[in-house]
Amino acid sequence: MKKPQIKEYNCETQEEIIRDATSAEIAQMEIDKAEVNAKQAEAEAKATAKAALLTQLGITAEQAKLLLS
């Protein structure tokens, strides 16, 4: 597998450097990716629970909005 690369840009000199990521940066990328996946899974679980509750109550999302407004 190809190592991820990091792009650094110096605004003062307009110098652009592209380099291989360090092992610490790669580890942080993996942590960030795991956090994003966990947040997505949580959002999907909440949406599924909300849909199940609306079905159980026998109302639509629009009706629920009207009740809560």
Single-letter amino acid, residue 1: M
Q: What is the DSSP string of 2-60?
A: PPPEEEEEETTTTEEEEEEPPHHHHHHHHHHHHHHHHHHHHHHHHHHHHHHHHHHHT--
Kindly compute the dihedral angle of the four CA atoms of residues 52, 57, 60, 63, in this order, to the nearest 10 degrees.
Answer: -140
Instruction: State residue 1's pLDDT score.
Output: 67
User: Span 1-14, mean pLDDT?
Assistant: 92
Instruction: State residue 2's pLDDT score.
Output: 84
pLDDT in tens, 27-61: 999 999 999 999 999 999 999 999 999 999 999 99
Instruction: State residue 30's pLDDT score.
Output: 96
Instruction: State residue 69's pLDDT score.
Output: 86
Instruction: State residue 29's pLDDT score.
Output: 96
